Amino acid sequence: MRLYADVHKTRRRGEGYRMTYSTDGITFKYVDSFSEFPAGPGDQVFVDTIPPSHTDGVMYLLRRGVEVCYLRRLTLIKKIGMELKLPKTARGDIKALMKIEDRWFRRVTEEFLVMRRMIIAYRSLMKTHQQLTNKFKALSEAERNILKPAITIIEEQMDEMSRQIAIEAGRRYPAYNRLVDELGISGNISAMEALAELIVYLEPSKGWRKTRNLVGLFKPIHGRKKIYSGYLRKALQRLTASANNIRSLQLTAKKEKEMLLRVWMIYRQEALGRLAMPAQG
């Protein structure tokens, strides 16, 4: 059975989520948790997104033998919806999901979900740190003294979360520890977190061209918006700067591409075995 679901926030103060689902595009039902989906061993669940707060529910489905896949690019729903003139509703979004090819969905694993939840928490801390830092620069000396302790606390939390991410990545991804050693970043918490972020989101089954496209290392087509993961590009930049012992202002696309290629090749070898590497074009 293939089940398609649209995950959306509830209207009540925007807190919590509700899932509208269907197996045929005709009959629609609702649940409040992934664990409530009527799916069993061998069934497939296709969703538009997986909120971090529902990670445990998705893992419950995985342990029941259900295959769960989420959409890689949410803009596809709008595109398909416009082409088919579907209403901008949960039901309309589900019908659009049903028309999207399987290659646009990513199958999740327990390892991916656990790491993703931790990485999202780290990104949230990093965003808060950046906001406070920007405000800090615009304040007077007296005001800076008041804000500085808050920034210090956030930095300590980021370091602790980075350590947890590095430990978990080392447990769940065999290629991670090898990459840490080969890149010479052992003890560099920020770089180790950035590497973990790349390892989690890169897919070793994908070729080199699709891998570099994922982080935006490609020339844009005139008249088209350049679509890639900004979060992964920033992680790659942090890793490249740390591994090469250079400042962010000294980064170049060439250095980033070399770093990504190195990570991709080792990760691919560990995940797929030491097979002949395909052409890198």
pLDDT digits (tens, 9 = 90+) for 29-80: 999 999 999 999 999 999 999 999 999 999 999 999 999 999 999 999 999 9
Q: How many domains does the chain have?
A: 2
What's the pTM?
0.89
H-run or E-run covering 62: helix 55-63
Domain boundary among 108, 133, 166: 108
278 part of a folded domain: no
131, 99: one domain: no
Q: How confident is the model at residue 281 (pLDDT cuts 50, 70, 90)?
A: very low
Asked whether residue 53 falls in the same domain as residue 177, the answer is no
- Whether residue 280 is contained in a domain is answered as no
pLDDT above 80: residue 280 = no
| Residue 100 and residue 115 in one domain | no
The predicted pLDDT at position 12 comes to 62
Write the CA distances from 160 to 53, 152, 164, 183, 189, integer angstroms: 21, 12, 6, 22, 9
Q: Are residues 100 and 70 in the same domain?
A: yes
Domain identity same for 28 and 137: no
Instruction: Tell me how far apart the alpha carbons of residues 121 and 9 are, in angstroms, rounded to a whole number.
Output: 19
131 — pLDDT class (breaks 50, 70, 90)? very high
pLDDT in tens, 134-166: 999 999 999 999 999 999 999 999 999 999 999
Task: Return the number of other C-beta atoms located less than 10 Å from residue 4's C-beta.
Answer: 24
